C-alpha cells in the first residue's frame, strides 16, 4: 500500500515538475515578453475540463550532439486533445521555455501524432507556433521531423480544417508548416514569420530591415497575404480561432454547424435601395451591403488588409454558414488584380472543400490593366478564379449590384461557371466593357465623322447603356434568374440557399485538376 502511495506521489511530483516546462525563470521571461506559456494558451483555447494531454513524458534520445543529460520537459511542445464549444480538436502548442520550443525528433513526433489523430477522428488541428525552429543539436532528425509535419499538413488538407497561430518566432523552413495550413492567425509584436531573417538578408542582398518590418504582422498580412487574421495578443488569437471554428465543419464529410431554428428570418431593408450612388464612378462600401444582408451583421472577414479591393469572409444566413466574396468599390474601384484573384480563389477552394455555400457580390470593372500586372501573370492568377469557381460544387449564388464587365463578370461566378442562382439589382450593368471604352471602339468612325464629337460620343454612350449596360439583356438570355429590388436581397439569398440545401453535383473522376498555380 505504501509502495503504491509512493508511486502515486512520485507521479504527481513528476507531472507538476514537467508542467512547469523550462522552469519559473523562463516562464517569467516568457510573460515579460508579452507571451503566455504553451499551457496557458491551450487553456484559453479549450473548453474547461476537456483537456487531455498526451506525451508529457516524451524524451529526446540524448544521443545527439550536446544533448546528453539535457532535460527538455515534454520535449518542448504540449500536445492535447479537447473540445472547443463542445467539438473535438487536437492541439500542438510549442513551449518556448524549453529550448526555445525548438523542434527535435520527439517534438515533431508528438505534433505528427496529434495530426494523425485529427485525420482519423475528423477533428480540426490547431498548431500554436512559438519556436526557434529546427533543433540545431538534432540536425537531420529535426529536419526529418519537419518533413513529416509538412507531409501530414498536406494529408490533412481539405479533410479537416488546419489553423496555425503564430505567437512567437516561426522562421526558416518552419514557416512552411503554417503556410500549408488553411488559416494563419498572427499575434501582433510577438509573432514573426520569415524564411530568412534580417541578418542573412543583410549578408546576401545588403538590404537593411528589422525583424518586425520583415516578418511582423503588418508585412505578412498587407504585403505578402500570408497571414489571414491579426490578433492583438494571445487571448485575442484564441478568440479568433474559436470564432473561425464556429463557422466550419469539423471535417469535409460534415456540413458546417447550423445555428438556425428552421425558420427563415426575412426582412426588407429599404436602405439597400439607396446604397448605389447615382454617379457610376462613385464608390460605396460593399462591407455595408454584406453586413445588411447577413445574420446580425456578423461578418468574420479573412485577410482584411490584403488585396482590399476584394472582400472574403464567413457569415451566416438564417443560422447557416456561407462564404462571402465581394468586390470592394472603395478600393481600386473593386478591380480584380493578381493579389485579389489569389485571395478569392483560395477562399473559394476552402469553402468548396468544407461544404460551405458561396455567395458572391459583384461590382467589378474588369481585370486590372498594366504592364506590372501582365508581367506578374494576371492571366495565370485571374485564371485561378475561373478554375476555382468552376470546380466548386457547393451551392453558388451571385448578386450583381452594378458593374459586371468582361472576363471579370465571369470570374466573379457568372452563370456559365456553374453558378446556381444569379440575380441582379436594377443598377446591374453586364457588358463586355464600360460604355466609354466600348463606344470608342465600336462607333469610332461615326464619332470621328461627327461635327460635335463630344455630343456624338455622349449620344452613343447613352445608346450603349440603354441597349447593353443593364441587367435585362442577361435576364432575357436566362443568364440572370431575376432582377430584384436591393431591399429584397436577403429574401432572395435565403430562399435560394434553402432550395439548394440538397444540391449534389457530380464531376468526372480524376486524380486532381490542374489549377494554374
Ligand atoms: C536549439 C535553440 C534554438 C534552436 C533557440 N534555442 N533556438 N536551441 N535549436 N533552433 C534555445 C536557445 O539556445 C536558448 O536556450 C533558448 O532556446 C531561448 O533562446 P534565446 O536565443 O535565449 O531566445 P531569444 O533571445 O528570445 O531569441 C529567440 C530566437 C533565437 C530569435 C528564436 O533563439 C534564434 O535565433 N534561434 C535560432 C533560430 C534559427 O536559426 N533556427 C533554425 C532555423 S532553420 P537556453 O538553454 O539558453 O534557454 C529551420 C529549418 C527548418 O528551422 C527546416 C524545415 C525544412
Helical (H) or strand (E) element with 320: strand 320-327
* Nearest atom within ligand 1 for CA of residue 134: 52
C-beta of 136 in contact with ligand 1 (< 6 A): yes
C-beta of 173 in contact with ligand 1 (< 6 A): yes
DSSP letter, residue 368 = P
Determine the average pLDDT of the residues in 117-136.
97
308 catalytic residue (yes or no): no
Residue-by-residue DSSP string for 369-425: PSHHHHHTTHHHHHHHHHHHHHH--S-EEEEEEEEEEHHHHHHTT-GGGT-SEEEE-
Give the cell for residue 337. 488584380
- Burial level of 509, CB count in 10 A (0-12/13-18/19+)? exposed
Query: How many angstroms separate the alpha carbon of residue 171 from the centre of ligand 1?
Result: 10
pLDDT tens string 316-363: 999 999 999 999 999 999 999 999 999 999 999 999 999 999 999 999
* Nearest atom within ligand 1 for CA of residue 29: 26
Torsion 480-290-216-158 (CA) sign: negative
What is the percent of the chain where pLDDT is above 90? 91
Give the cell for residue 425. 439589382
Selected from 3.90.226.10, 3.40.50.1970, 3.30.70.360, 1.10.10.10, the CATH number assigned to the domain covering 2-247 reads: 3.90.226.10
What is the rounded distance in angstroms from the CA atom of residue 43 to the CA atom of residue 330? Answer: 40
100 catalytic residue (yes or no): no
pLDDT at position 306: 98
What is the rounded distance in angstroms from the CA atom of residue 487 to the CA atom of residue 202? Answer: 56
pLDDT at position 433: 86
Nearest protein Cα to ligand 1, atom 17: 100
Mean pLDDT of the chain: 96
pLDDT at position 435: 86
pLDDT at position 330: 97
DSSP letter, residue 482 = E
Q: Are 2-247 and 270-433+470-499 the same fold in CATH?
A: yes
pLDDT tens string 52-80: 999 999 999 999 889 999 999 999 999 99
366 catalytic residue (yes or no): no
Cβ–Cβ under 8 Å, residues 129 and 162: no
Query: How many angstroms separate the alpha carbon of residue 101 from the centre of ligand 1?
Result: 8
Helical (H) or strand (E) element with 476: helix 471-476
76 catalytic residue (yes or no): no
Pairing of strands 320-327, 396-405: unpaired
Residues facing 90 on adjacent strands: 81, 125
Domain spanning 270-433+470-499: which superfamily? 2-enoyl-CoA Hydratase; Chain A, domain 1 (3.90.226.10)
Catalytic-role residue among 408, 411, 431, 435: 408
C-beta of 99 in contact with ligand 1 (< 6 A): yes
Which of 33, 35, 100 is the pocket-test mutation for ligand 1 (most atoms within 8 Å of CB)? 100
pLDDT at position 387: 98
Whether pLDDT at 309 is above 80? yes
Catalytic-role residue among 173, 319, 418, 440: 173
Determine the average pLDDT of the residues in 211-229.
95
pLDDT tens string 155-208: 999 999 999 999 999 988 899 999 999 999 999 999 999 999 999 999 999 999
* Nearest atom within ligand 1 for CA of residue 136: 9
C-beta of 73 in contact with ligand 1 (< 6 A): no
In three-state secondary structure terms, 316 is: strand
Task: State the pLDDT confidence band at 1, using cuts at 50, 70 and 90.
Answer: low
C-beta of 180 in contact with ligand 1 (< 6 A): no
What is the rounded distance in angstroms from the CA atom of residue 109 to the CA atom of residue 364? Answer: 48
φ, ψ (nearest 5 deg) of residue 217 = -60, -40
pLDDT at position 360: 98
pLDDT tens string 229-269: 999 999 999 999 999 999 999 999 999 999 999 899 988 99
Query: How many angstroms separate the alpha carbon of residue 104 from the centre of ligand 1?
Result: 12
* Nearest atom within ligand 1 for CA of residue 211: 31
pLDDT at position 248: 98
Whether pLDDT at 226 is above 90? yes
What is the percent of the chain where pLDDT is above 70? 100
- Burial level of 341, CB count in 10 A (0-12/13-18/19+)? buried
pLDDT at position 332: 97
* Nearest atom within ligand 1 for CA of residue 100: 17
Task: State the pLDDT confidence band at 465, using cuts at 50, 70 and 90.
Answer: confident
Helical (H) or strand (E) element with 463: helix 453-467
Whether pLDDT at 437 is above 90? no
Nearest protein Cα to ligand 1, atom 3: 132
pLDDT at position 189: 96
Give the domain ranges of the chain.
2-247, 270-433+470-499, 435-468
Amino acid at each position: 500500500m505504501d509502495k503504491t502511495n509512493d508511486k502515486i506521489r512520485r507521479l504527481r511530483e513528476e507531472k507538476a515538475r514537467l508542467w512547469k516546462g523550462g522552469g519559473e525563470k523562463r516562464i517569467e521571461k516568457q510573460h515579460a515578453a508579452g507571451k503566455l506559456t504553451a499551457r496557458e494558451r491551450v487553456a484559453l483555447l479549450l473548453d474547461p475540463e476537456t483537456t487531455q494531454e498526451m506525451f508529457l513524458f516524451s524524451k529526446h534520445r540524448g544521443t545527439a550532439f550536446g544533448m546528453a543529460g539535457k532535460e527538455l520537459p515534454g520535449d518542448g511542445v504540449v500536445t492535447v486533445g479537447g473540445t472547443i464549444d463542445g467539438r473535438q480538436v487536437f492541439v500542438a502548442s510549442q513551449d518556448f521555455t524549453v529550448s526555445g520550443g525548438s523542434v527535435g525528433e520527439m517534438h515533431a513526433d508528438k505534433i505528427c501524432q496529434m495530426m494523425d489523430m485529427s485525420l482519423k477522428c475528423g477533428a480540426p488541428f490547431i498548431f500554436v507556433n512559438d519556436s526557434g525552429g529546427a533543433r540545431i543539436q538534432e540536425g537531420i532528425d529535426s529536419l526529418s521531423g519537419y518533413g513529416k509535419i509538412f507531409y501530414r499538413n498536406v494529408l490533412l488538407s481539405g479533410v479537416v480544417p488546419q489553423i496555425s497561430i503564430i505567437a512567437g518566432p516561426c522562421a526558416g523552413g518552419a514557416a512552411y508548416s503554417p503556410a500549408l495550413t488553411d488559416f494563419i492567425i498572427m499575434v501582433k509584436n510577438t509573432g514573426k514569420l520569415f524564411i530568412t531573417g534580417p541578418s542573412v538578408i543583410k549578408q546576401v542582398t545588403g538590404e537593411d530591415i528589422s525583424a518586425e518590418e520583415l516578418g511582423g504582422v503588418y508585412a505578412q498580412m498587407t504585403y505578402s497575404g500570408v497571414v489571414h487574421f491579426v490578433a492583438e495578443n494571445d487571448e485575442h488569437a484564441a478568440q479568433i480561432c474559436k470564432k473561425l471554428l464556429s463557422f466550419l465543419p469539423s471535417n469535409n464529410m460534415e456540413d458546417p454547424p447550423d445555428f438556425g431554428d428552421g425558420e427563415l428570418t426575412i426582412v426588407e431593408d429599404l436602405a439597400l435601395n439607396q446604397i448605389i450612388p447615382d454617379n457610376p464612378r462613385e464608390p460605396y462600401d460593399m462591407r455595408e451591403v454584406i453586413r445588411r444582408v447577413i445574420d446580425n451583421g456578423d461578418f468574420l472577414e479573412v485577410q482584411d488588409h490584403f488585396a482590399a479591393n476584394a472582400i472574403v469572409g464567413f457569415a451566416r444566413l438564417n443560422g447557416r454558414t456561407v462564404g462571402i466574396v465581394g468586390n470592394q468599390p472603395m478600393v481600386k474601384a473593386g478591380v480584380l488584380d493578381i493579389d485579389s484573384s489569389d485571395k478569392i480563389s483560395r477562399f473559394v477552394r476552402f469553402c468548396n472543400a468544407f461544404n460551405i455555400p458561396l455567395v458572391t457580390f459583384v461590382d467589378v470593372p474588369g481585370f486590372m490593366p498594366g504592364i506590372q500586372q501582365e508581367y506578374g501573370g494576371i492571366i495565370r492568377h485571374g485564371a485561378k478564379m475561373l478554375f476555382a469557381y468552376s470546380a466548386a460544387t457547393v451551392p453558388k449564388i451571385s448578386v450583381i449590384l452594378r458593374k459586371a464587365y468582361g472576363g471579370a463578370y465571369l470570374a466573379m461566378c457568372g452563370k456559365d461557371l456553374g453558378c446556381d442562382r444569379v440575380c441582379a439589382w436594377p443598377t446591374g450593368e453586364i457588358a463586355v466593357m464600360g460604355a466609354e471604352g466600348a463606344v470608342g471602339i465600336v462607333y469610332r468612325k461615326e464619332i470621328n465623322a461627327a461635327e460635335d464629337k463630344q455630343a456624338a460620343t455622349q449620344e452613343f454612350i447613352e445608346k450603349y447603356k440603354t441597349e447593353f449596360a443593364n441587367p435585362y439583356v442577361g435576364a432575357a438570355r436566362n443568364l440572370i434568374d431575376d432582377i430584384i429590388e436591393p431591399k429584397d436581397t436577403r429574401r432572395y439569398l435565403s430562399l435560394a440557399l434553402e432550395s439548394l440545401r440538397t444540391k449534389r453535383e457530380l464531376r468526372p473522376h480524376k486524380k486532381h485538376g490542374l489549377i494554374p498555380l
